[in-house]
Structure 1
Amino acid sequence: MASVMDDPTLARHFRGHTDAVTCADFSPTGKQLATGSVDTSLIVWNLAPKAHAVRFRGHQEALTDLQFSPTGDLVATSSEDTTVRLWTPCIEGESEVFRAHAAAVRSVSFSCDGQCLVTASDDHEVKVWSLSCRRLLYSLQRHSDVVRCARFSPDGRLIASCGDDGAVMLWDASSGQCVSCFTDCGGSVLFVDFNSSGTCLAASGQDSSLRIWDLRTSKLTHLYQVHSAVVNCFSFHPSNNYLISGSSDSTVKIADLLEGQVMYTLHGHKGPVLTSVFSRSGEEFVSGGVDGQVGLTEQQGLHSKESKNLKSNSCSGFTDISSVPCRFGGRLVTYWVQTGRVGHLVLWEGTGTRPKRLKYTP
């Protein structure tokens, strides 16, 4: 049976961001969490007890996306200031700047070997960059409107992109040629990504649906219409058996792709959910949205076929909940990372009827 946790109580303030958090990612080891904000800063939080957080400044406008490199030695950030920056997450200091696009940059992603970056922009272009040469390799210019997202396939051979023109495009990463184009997406497409084996491609967007194509046959294999509003984000579990999605309907849903049904509906947000991503190990995920409530529920692990609605309780003292990592094992245990517009960050570990505090040095 699902159990609703008592209201969390504030353990400690962390002086962090001063505005809404827009993006987050775990390091490959799971020992660091990076967050980016409208306040133009990147903060890397070390998740070991008594470890320091490091703030990085350089962008002139809001951060829109970020990602750790495959080795974890770099963090790439994109911004509305038209640039992409590379940071060393353990060293506070200057970043390396790519004057990337002629308009806001909406996404940034590393290739599997960490040698290339792909960026997407409001200027209707996707660009691929060499990190070893620190130069632009080529631009992909077939989209006719804002490009919302671009991602490398796990083997680095393909690039997927999507945008406000309603198209999902698949590109050969070596030649820059478009090899497939899916246009039956029901409007603007906000997010696109591959599963961990690279055999499937998923997209979500304005029509509140999630679509999954089998790239071996180019056929649509799954159409999930489980949300009641725009689906802003999703992430495949590394096992490829599960998918988490976040929507403007204020919910996060975990779907069992083998059974073809929703396993959990998480009601932890009271506003649009803007980001959801599994860690590399699959033991955690981060979801983010602008709201004032947080819930903590302990539930049996991802093996039950029964759909569960996991309700939330109020958490006072916050105006924005930015990210919620959850750990999977024998049980579903939730870790809440709370970032308010007043710039405070608190990390909770929920393992019983009360959260356990994880200590930091701000």
Structure 2
Amino acid sequence: MSTTEPAALCVAVAGGYAAVGYHGDGLKLFSLESGDRTWASKDLRVSILCLMWLAADEPELLVSGGGDQRLRVWRQEEADMVLLGCFGVQQGPILALAQNSSYLASASDDCSIALWAVKDLTSDPWVDPSVISVLRGHSGGVTCLAFSPTGEELLSGGKDQVLMVWNASSSPPTLTQSLPHCHGDWITGCVWGPNCVVSCSSDCKIRMWDLQKGRSVSEILARSSLSAVCCLGEFVIAGCAEGELHVWKWDSGMEISRISAHRSRIHHCSVLPDPDKTKETKQEDMMVATASDDGTVKLWHPFQVQHHSTLQGHSGGIHGAVSKQKGVPAFLTVSQDRSLRSWSVAAAMESPLNQRGTVTALSFCQSGDLLLSGYESGRVELWKHNSAVGHKKVSDSSVTAICSMPDDQFAVGCRQRSVSVWKVEWNPQHNAASLLKVSTYSVPIPVMHLYYCSILLGTCEDGNIINVLADADREIDNWKDNTHILGMVANDEKSTWLVGEKKGQIVLGFMYAMGPKTELQSSCGKIELEMEETCGGKGGWITAVTVDRELVVCGDSKGNMWFKQPPNINSWSSKKPVRALPFPLMKLMSFFDDDEYYFGLIFP
């Protein structure tokens, strides 16, 4: 897939921010909370091939490795990055980075590995660091690095098909083991397992190595070159160029599963969520995410050979993925489409989209920063800045209506003839929300629409309009005269429009309330707006109506739209096709500018 802008090559996540490196265009910083780009490097026409945050507990320093053979250290200052220094001793592009508590290791295409003292890189004020040691032994570019769990040993793999183990705790660091001819092609990845090391290669093989014996103890042959590998407990997971996902036991080499996960190359695979290494791995809980050149991220239950869900959004191949270490469980992907996307692990893992059912209700919180969505499955989700921050299974039946209420509360109507009130408890430290039930009310007929205007109004499936929270005499009005109520549209904090359809005509109602003691029966009004032949065309039935002051906008089942617009409020415009699908719901935004009236529509 060709692009007119640089492709994203690598990503590193820490402290609520994601740094992304680009081909020939430096790096950029993104906020995980909002998804917005907060900073971009200037005049850095360099390919950034690898990134790593230092001091993971309080990350503020970022190291980048470039195609110009240089390392750069950047300090994060709120949403900006400041370049502290540029340094290097290697003569080829920097291909990989790894760190332990003492050293940052940089791998280069010049066959070398350079070790830098972390204390020098984190010194304040900044001083150009001196290289601690340059490790030479590879005869081809070094493509991958991994420190052992103790940090005392460094594993490297290269284009020379050799795995090497270095003693990083000795002074100076020394080569302790070399495993030549490990593969028949470039080594593309290496990781430490519990009792072995694992390597994958473009030669289509993944091999497990016993370092004490100095030999391969197991291997698996894939159909195409292998491009990604990760480990969890006794299991090794790998992705290949033909899109297959493999899982096997590292000690026996027994293949557990092989899944045709994608139609094109897998660039990254990882276990979700990040495992607690103190706990035993449970096969039934294991889920693997794969990122592919086909532009999708897929979640799998590999032991059941079951596809869980597909996360779509990228329009180009995905070239990298990384798990977010803190806050709401999430992972990020970078793609050839030049985008960085954040995915909610909790929402994706709990229930795939086809099990949640369709979205049946939407509402913004009164504060405006949270969106509530209800599903056919009875699930409610909270969204903030394009990320799911909370969810709750509120019913075994479909959600029919949602509306926001004061004090961070909202009401949910369900098909099983109930309305429940929930309170949002926000955890700013983890950027997550939990939902606590406040109360539940039974209704005789399912509520299809809800609106709060000092009282909680509900329109029932049979046309009744009720005060949901009232102890008695709930019915306010009824539209049972062949009128189909299409919704309630906010007018202000104490009044609302009711919109409906009756035999092809628009019906408008208006209700206001001044608190629970209002005589609601006397505060209702209803008029019918007759349709004219001038609306023209063979339209379908009316499916959506919205209103804002003198403006009334309608949509039908064939995707047509028409309206009454000031100053011509006595006649309808002609119908215009604006979408191929019916209008299930419309939200209206409008404003005046130089005596001209503008409006915009939002569709789910």
Q: Is the structural similarity TM-score above 0.5?
A: yes
**What are the Cα deviations for residues 129-158 of structure 1, in whole angstroms up to 9, with x where unaligned?**
113232201111111121212222222211
**What are the Cα deviations for residues 64-103 of structure 1, in whole angstroms up to 9, with x where unaligned?**
2223334351332212121122334554122332224211
1:1-362 matches, within 5 Å, as 18-27=5-14, 32-48=17-33, 50=34, 52-57=36-41, 59-69=44-54, 70-71=56-57, 73=59, 74-89=61-76, 90-95=78-83, 96-111=85-100, 113=101, 115-133=102-120, 134-173=129-168, 174=170, 175-185=172-182, 186-195=184-193, 197=194, 199-225=195-221, 227-237=222-232, 240-257=233-250, 260-263=254-257, 265=259, 267-268=261-262, 270-277=263-270, 281-282=274-275, 287-292=290-295, 294=296, 296-297=298-299, 299=301, 304=303, 306=304, 308=305, 310=307, 318-323=315-320, 337=332, 339-349=334-344, 350=348, 351-353=351-353, 359-360=384-385
- The aligned residue for residue 496 of structure 2 is none
**What are the Cα deviations for residues 226-258 of structure 1, in whole angstroms up to 9, with x where unaligned?**
x22221221223xx2333323222234344446
User: What one-letter code is carried by the residue in structure 1 that aligns with 2:57?
Assistant: T
Superposition deviation, residue 117 in structure 1:
0.8
Aligned counterparts of 1:206 and 1:144: Cα–Cα separation in 2 = 17
The change in CA–CA distance for 1:24 and 1:340 in structure 2 (over 3 A counts) is: closer
- The aligned residue for residue 331 of structure 1 is none
- The aligned residue for residue 572 of structure 2 is none
Aligned counterparts of 1:97 and 1:286: Cα–Cα separation in 2 = 35
The change in CA–CA distance for 1:162 and 1:324 in structure 2 (over 3 A counts) is: closer
Tell me if structure 2 keeps the 8 A contact 1:347–1:358: no
Aligned counterparts of 1:192 and 1:285: Cα–Cα separation in 2 = 18
Aligned counterparts of 1:285 and 1:39: Cα–Cα separation in 2 = 32
Tell me if structure 2 keeps the 8 A contact 1:118–1:152: no
Tell me if structure 2 keeps the 8 A contact 1:150–1:192: yes
Aligned length: 323
**What are the Cα deviations for residues 258-300 of structure 1, in whole angstroms up to 9, with x where unaligned?**
67323463624x43333345589338877544334x265564x
Superposition deviation, residue 316 in structure 1:
7.5
Tell me if structure 2 keeps the 8 A contact 1:326–1:335: yes
Aligned counterparts of 1:234 and 1:153: Cα–Cα separation in 2 = 16
The change in CA–CA distance for 1:211 and 1:41 in structure 2 (over 3 A counts) is: same
Runs of 5+ unmatched residues, structure 2: 121-128, 277-286, 357-380, 388-604
Tell me if structure 1 keeps the 8 A contact 2:156–2:164: yes
Higher fraction of strand: 2
* DSSP-derived class of the 1:319 partner: coil
Aligned counterparts of 2:188 and 2:314: Cα–Cα separation in 1 = 31
* Larger RCO of the pair (alpha carbons < 8 Å, separation 6+): 1
Aligned counterparts of 1:258 and 1:214: Cα–Cα separation in 2 = 10
* DSSP-derived class of the 1:212 partner: strand
- The aligned residue for residue 3 of structure 1 is none
Aligned counterparts of 1:358 and 1:323: Cα–Cα separation in 2 = 25
* DSSP-derived class of the 1:135 partner: coil
Aligned counterparts of 1:190 and 1:151: Cα–Cα separation in 2 = 12
Tell me if structure 2 keeps the 8 A contact 1:126–1:150: no
For the aligned residues, what is the CA RMSD? 3.7
Aligned counterparts of 2:383 and 2:332: Cα–Cα separation in 1 = 11
Aligned counterparts of 2:332 and 2:132: Cα–Cα separation in 1 = 37
Tell me if structure 1 keeps the 8 A contact 2:289–2:298: no
The change in CA–CA distance for 1:281 and 1:224 in structure 2 (over 3 A counts) is: same
Aligned counterparts of 2:314 and 2:386: Cα–Cα separation in 1 = 21
Tell me if structure 2 keeps the 8 A contact 1:348–1:358: no
User: What one-letter code is carried by the residue in structure 2 that aligns with 1:360?
Assistant: H
Tell me if structure 2 keeps the 8 A contact 1:62–1:80: yes
- The aligned residue for residue 365 of structure 2 is none
Runs of 5+ unmatched residues, structure 1: 1-16, 328-333
User: What one-letter code is carried by the residue in structure 1 that aligns with 2:110?
Assistant: D
User: What one-letter code is carried by the residue in structure 2 that aligns with 1:40?
Assistant: D
* DSSP-derived class of the 1:61 partner: coil
User: What one-letter code is carried by the residue in structure 1 that aligns with 2:199?
Assistant: A
The change in CA–CA distance for 1:67 and 1:265 in structure 2 (over 3 A counts) is: farther
Q: How high is the TM-score relative to the length of structure 2?
A: 0.47
Aligned counterparts of 1:212 and 1:317: Cα–Cα separation in 2 = 34
Superposition deviation, residue 123 in structure 1:
1.0
Superposition deviation, residue 338 in structure 1:
5.5
Tell me if structure 2 keeps the 8 A contact 1:26–1:279: no
Superposition deviation, residue 191 in structure 1:
1.9
Aligned counterparts of 1:245 and 1:297: Cα–Cα separation in 2 = 14
The change in CA–CA distance for 1:216 and 1:323 in structure 2 (over 3 A counts) is: same
The change in CA–CA distance for 1:26 and 1:171 in structure 2 (over 3 A counts) is: same
Aligned counterparts of 2:75 and 2:200: Cα–Cα separation in 1 = 32
User: What one-letter code is carried by the residue in structure 1 that aligns with 2:112?
Assistant: E
